[in-house]
Structures are given as C-alpha cells and as structure tokens.
Amino acid sequence: MQKLYISGLLVIIMMTAALSAVARPISYPSGIAPMVMNDGTSNSANIQYSPTATYSIGYTFEHFREDNFNLHALQVNNLLKRWNNPDSQGNLYLESGIGLSGKGEGIHPVAFTGAEADWEDRRFLVSYKNRYTTGQDINDFYMESARLGVAPYIGEFGDLHTWLMVQVDHNPRAKDPVTVTPLVRLFKGTNLVEAGVSNQGKILFNWMTQF
C-alpha cells in the first residue's frame, strides 16, 4: 500500500512538472516553447525547440533598456542533472548563447552563459539562475536572480494552478542593484502567465506556452 501511494504521488508530481515545464529552459521531446518576458532590466522574446528531454535550441531576442542595446542570439540549453524523488524534483541547467548585439549603428558579436537550478514539490518551489554576458560594443555584465514560491492550494491535473512567489534580482552595475518583486504565477494546461510589481515600481510580466 505504501509503494502504491508513493507511485501515485510521483505520477502527480511528474504531471505537474510537465505543466510547469514551460517555465523551464527545456520541455518534453519535440516540444516547442515560445516565451515573452518583461522585467525591470529588459524585454525579451524566445522560442526553443527540444529535440530530447536533455537539451533545447532556439532564438533569443533581448532589449536592455538602461543600456539601450539589442541582442539577437542562438541559444542552447543543456540539462546537466535531474533529481527525481518520490515527492519532488530538482534540475540543473547550463544556458549559453552566441549572436550579435546592436548599440547605435554598430553590430558586433556577443555571447553569454549561465546556470539555472530549481527544486519543487507540489507545495514549495525554489530556483536560482545567473548569467555572464560579453560583447565588443557593450560593457561585460553579470546578473543573477532567485525565487521562492508557495502554492496556496494543491490542484489536480488539468486544474488552474497558482503560485505566490518572491523574486530577488541582483544586477551589480544597475542604478538599483537589488530588486525585489512579489508575483503571481498562474498556469493551466501548457499556458503560463506571471505578473508582479517590484519594490521600485517596475512591472514584471511573463507569458509562456508549449506545443
């Protein structure tokens, strides 16, 4: 009976993880995931194709408002490690890209790399990601962010799922290096929406889907 309970719980966790996978850099095999993301630093759009469950490849566009430059890149995400437990899951990713940046009239090579890690069960979520970006016509920069989330209720497969989260962003060279953003995540099926307002009054809005 105990084994049956654990197996059933694992199935529910895996189904929930499949729904929330649109928030992760890799989806299920042959999955395509477009994303639009807006926060206090940049506006971005990304579309990723996952040939397998261990890596994805796609196109990324970003506009950094404070530095007034655009970035176009081919991005590759790799799943380095996954921990599947009876009632939770953890992941470690490497995310890298190479492309072009435009600032003023110049077009120059740009590259970035960083790591992302997350852990969640059906009630709690914690994640962390960082990134280093370098380019000929931009000042090299490093950014990092972390999240802590809690689900106020436990939904079943196919329900509308809700997460209440707090995101902390650290951008050492920004005018305000640390930003704290309370936000709400809603997802149902393969659609996910996040919205919040930071302590500096900046709006966070993210939309992601998967097909």
> How many of the other CB atoms lie within 10 Å of CB of 70?
16
Rounded Cα–Cα distance for residues 13 and 196 (Å):
26
Q: Confidence class of residue 9 from pLDDT cuts 50, 70 and 90?
A: very low
In the chain, where are the structural domains located?
2-209
What was the pLDDT predicted at 23? 67
* pLDDT tens-digit readout, 41-82: 899 999 999 999 999 999 999 998 888 889 999 999 999 999
pTM beyond 0.95: no
Pick 2-209's CATH classification: 3.40.50.720, 3.30.530.20, 1.20.1050.10, 2.40.160.40. Answer: 2.40.160.40
* pLDDT tens-digit readout, 96-114: 999 999 876 678 899 999 9
User: Count of H helices and E strands in the chain?
Assistant: 1, 12
* Phi–psi pair at 35, nearest 5 degrees: -140, 145
> What is the Cα Rg of the chain in Å?
18
* pLDDT tens-digit readout, 74-104: 999 999 999 999 899 999 999 999 999 987 6
